[in-house]
Structure 1
Amino acid sequence: MRVRQLSKPAAGTALACALLMGGWFAGPVSGRAGAASHVDAPSTFADPPRDGSDLYAFTSPEAPDTVTIATDYHPLQLPGNAVTLYPFMTDTRYEIHADSSGDGRPEVTYRYTFRTQDKRPSGTAAAVTAPVRSLADKAVVFRQTYTLEELRPGKPARTLVDQGAVAPSYAGSRLMPDYDALRKDATKTLPGGGRSYVGQIADSFLFNIGPYAKIRFGIPLVPEINPVSLLNANTMTLQVPKQALAFKGDPRRNPVIGIWATASRRTVDVQGGEEAAYAQVSRMGQPHVLETMFPDSLPVVGVPGGLSDQFQTRSPAQDGDWGAMIKQFREPFAPRNISFATGAAAPANPRTDLVDFFMNGVEKVTTFSVNQDVDRAAVRPAEVLRLNMSTPVSKSPHRETLFEGDPEGYPNGRRFVDDADAIQMRALMGGLLGAETGFLTRNNLIKTPPKPSTGTFPYRPLPH
């Protein structure tokens, strides 16, 4: 495909770059961030502890009978130092949901709740008062523990972890000379198989602000940098057996699951009831969906109460009836921006291929029709992160996955090496319809996450 060269006024490009970078780097300074991809929904800008930034799901490389699901919150955390602390909220339910029947409702939910023990001396900000090498050290004066429950409809909750230790925010090499030891202390083995780690990590998001600027704003000339390359986040990284996730417990016959994560805040009980009520304030599914598809999703142009805010409070079971959301996929704005920035021709609307990509899955790979035992009449369109658990672990993973012959990785789950923006750019420009799109991303300079993953659970890089 021939690409024509476009000239742009330098002043306009510089102004757009300044706005773009201002929206990103407002995070560490103002406490603002976004849901499901660091900078999208206005409702979560001022609520970073409940702000879901990334969701990952993949077959565990060293334990292929399990799936690892990582949910990251409170992004854009400053590198480790003695005066910052990023705790989980004790009035919030952080939940991972897995749908194996395709109706947009979970067959299983994993719920994390937190407790805090704060013995810091007055005026002390760090979690520790002296160098520590173990979470049992008395110098750890700010501690959090968590309960992990497995919830299934019609069955009593099952506690998988009680009083699990949270690895505290990294306070720097002087106070925490061996954070890896603290992480090992915080890693719990689950009954029936699997593991759980809760704590801080270096942000794994493979992000490139250059391609992102083309998708979001149609800006062709933005330096390629990863704004999270030196920043941290909180994570709940969970490894569970595939049998626990599959429909009827059979991952061979029913390998496809849909995964999403939510954070729900406890609300004021004006009725005086015994059971506290919780309101969902954050939802994560596929990466960068709101920023790619919803025009009201950025801090620069965000609209409080708009579609991206509404998305945070909705269930996937409602997505198929939400005409305003489906319209964003059928008539997307991003291809026009990419065309303006690159000169490539954008496919014509309506984009039924994008409706399928975001709401139904990849045919014969992540659609629920792959599952042999589901009621196909009950399957609903939904924006979730789909994973085919029967896909083997790739020996040579490629950051652009299905477009470069790698069947594993987003949109078949999501790994830390996957370049979500490059994949979505190619899908937006007709890559799923057979258009040649490799030239759009071939020369991208950022090809790996900011910090490499480890080879074993929890796979996450140690915090900066």
Structure 2
Amino acid sequence: MLLATIAGAGPGAVQASSHLDTVLLAADPQMDTTDLYAFTSPDNPDMVTLIANYFPLQGPAPSPLYRFATDAYYDINIDTDGTGRPSLTYRWTFKNTGLLGLLPSQSYTLQELRSGRPPRTLVSDGFAPTVSAGPFGDFAAQRKKAITALPDGGQTYAGQATDPFFFDLKIAGMLRLGFATLLPRTDLGLQENIETLAIQVPKKTLALNGDPQRNPVIGVTTSAGRATLDLSTASSKRYRQLSRMGNPNFCDAIIPELAPHYNTITPAEDQRAPGLIDTVRTPRLPHTIAVSSGTKAPDEPRTDLEEIFLTGLTTKANGPIRTDLNSQLLNQDADPLAFAPSDELRLNMTTPPTSRPNRFGLLGGDMQGFPNGRRLGDDVGAITIRMLMGEPAGPGAPRLGESPITGPGTPTGSTFPYVALPLMQKA
């Protein structure tokens, strides 16, 4: 997440993929969302894998600080009908289990939440491993122990991993500052650990009415909040949402000035959030990139960005990208009159995985890559730059997305949970 601070960036810093840290999140890294991924599992195409990463900049050493918050919730939300409201939520809550609570080991409860139904506990005492040094350093064995089967099929993992995000300084500079020519293409080589929530579930569990063929598209978000005391009832415990993520780079590259408010609202509130849709239609960053790179910013209003980030790609939305790919408007059982534009990472679960993924996703002719979900190898920084400059609705400026950094510095795995083992301090 926070991989480098660029001189002149003011109070912000370069981010892994999406929101610019507010002061509140910078001071509360356990609540800080770094990345969200959603993809058909390459080794099990009947399953979808969802991954949410939190707590950036963890060093490769044991620390009682490197763990999930125990007075908080961590959610992955699934919107099947396009209303912005979750049809299904997976919620993790944690408690400390190490000696006197000082060691970083934790356990967790995972619940399935559906509207109109009581919460359903899927895992009641899950093991969340963290990095250890010396004789306790066999993290591969800890991870194997930590992967837990789910009652209706699938599996889950919560614990540390190497941050899979990758970027170079030039791409990061364009996303944060709009500087396209002043920064070199440099791999900073900064790799850190993060806290990962990963869950793999059958497509029928996620799909509207349990039918992924008839209703193939889901919208995915992650959110986290801390418990707060509601003084109006003296003792009742409520939660305050502190962070949220849907599409990578949406918050810091498209609506950076709205970041503090964005992190506290739900997707269902996006269409009513003051200035949000207007900012998507008239973003500032393309103009800054155009001036520094000698290119031309696309004409406004940017209904192409509105389609990519807020509605998904479909001819039913009357946007300029004329393809039916990943909008809940494609779900036959969804009510189109109830559809609400919102920032969600949308995935068409029927798009077949490719054996040769292209890191530029849709822009590279790979229909199963971002913005149709997001895989660990999708170069979302470069893709976002190219989209800001007009692709795929127009010719854009593909050369601005060129980068020698083509994937995570530590290779990801071929089986669940796919994220690499965390970096470890050598004994």
| TM-score, structure 2 as length reference | 0.91
Question: 2:211 aligned to 232, 245, 250, which one?
Answer: 250
Mapping of residues 385-424 of structure 1, within 5 Å: 385-424=345-384
- Take 1:83 and 1:93, find their aligned partners in 2: how far apart are those partners? 21
Asked if structure 2 preserves the Cα contact closer than 8 Å seen for 1:399 and 1:419, the reply is: yes
Q: Is contact 2:19-2:245 (8 Å) kept?
A: no
Instruction: Show the counterpart of 1:54.
Output: 35
Q: Structure 2 counterpart of 1:56, which letter?
A: Y
* 2:7 match: secondary structure: helix
Distance 2:231 2:363 in 1: 53
Percent same amino acid among aligned pairs?
A: 41
Structure ID, larger Rg: 1
**In structure 2, what is the equivalent of residue 19 of structure 1?**
8
Partners in 2 of 1:89 and 1:261 — Cα distance?
16
Pair 39,351 (structure 1): closer, same or farther in 2 beyond 3 Å: closer
Q: Distance in 2 between matches of 1:344 and 1:110?
A: 44
Root mean square deviation, CA, Å: 2.1
SS of residue in 1 equivalent to 2:197: strand
What is the CA distance between 1:180 and its match in structure 2? Answer: 0.6
**In structure 1, distance between residues paired with 2:359 and 2:329:** 27
Report if the CA contact (8 A) 1:401-1:410 is conserved: yes
- Relative to structure 1, is the Cα distance of residues 290 and 247 closer, same or farther in structure 2, using a 3 angstrom cutoff? same
Q: What is the 5 A alignment of 1:369-388? A: 369-388=329-348
Matched-pair contact (CA < 8 Å) for 2:19–2:251 = no
Aligned-pair distance for 1:236? 0.6
What is the CA-CA distance between 1:427 and the residue it aligns to?
1.0
Structure 1-normalised TM-score? 0.84
Report what 2:262 is aligned to: 311
Pick from 398, 414, 417: which aligns with 1:455?
414
Mapping of residues 63-74 of structure 1, within 5 Å: 63-74=44-55
Which aligned pairs between 1:12-411 and structure 2 lie closer than 5 A? 17-20=6-9, 23-24=12-13, 37=18, 39-78=20-59, 80-83=60-63, 85-119=65-99, 127=103, 142-168=104-130, 170-172=131-133, 174-219=134-179, 220-226=181-187, 229-272=190-233, 275-296=236-257, 307-363=258-314, 364-411=324-371
What SS is found at the alignment partner of 1:386?
strand
SS state at 1:277 partner = strand
SS at match of 1:326: helix
Distance in 1 (CA, whole Å) between partners of 2:346 and 2:62 is: 40
Q: Secondary structure at the match of 1:339?
A: helix
CA distance in 1, matches of 2:30, 2:188: 19
Name stretches of at least 5 consecutive residues in structure 2 with no aligned partner. Answer: 315-323
SS for the counterpart of 2:107 is strand
User: Relative to structure 1, is the Cα distance of residues 83 and 107 closer, same or farther in structure 2, using a 3 angstrom cutoff?
Assistant: closer
**CA distance in structure 2 between the partners assigned to 1:282 and 1:35 by the alignment:** 14
| Structure 2 CA distance for partners of 1:48 and 1:228, relative to 1, 3 Å | farther
Contact 1:195 1:240 in 2 (8 A): yes
Task: Please give the alpha-carbon distance, in whole angstroms, between the structure 2 residues aligned to 1:228 and 1:387.
Answer: 31
The change in CA–CA distance for 1:435 and 1:36 in structure 2 (over 3 A counts) is closer
In 2, Cα distance between the equivalents of 1:267 and 1:215?
34
CA distance in 2 between counterparts of 1:209 and 1:234 reads 24
Structure 2 distance, partners of 1:82, 1:157, is 34
The farther-off stretch of 81-90 and 66-75 is 81-90
Q: Could you list the runs of 5+ residues in structure 1 that have no partner in the other structure?
A: 1-15, 26-33, 128-141, 297-306
Which whole-Å CA distance do the structure 1 matches of 2:273 and 2:231 have between them? 31
**Which residue identity lines up with residue 411 of structure 2 in the other structure?**
P
User: What's the CA shift for 1:18?
Assistant: 2.5
The runs of 4+ residues in structure 1 deviating greater than 6 Å are: none
1:369 shift after superposition: 2.0
The 1:251–1:289 alpha-carbon spacing in structure 2 relative to 1, beyond 3 Å, is same
- For residues 83 and 102 of structure 1, the distance between their equivalents in structure 2, rounded to whole angstroms, comes to 41
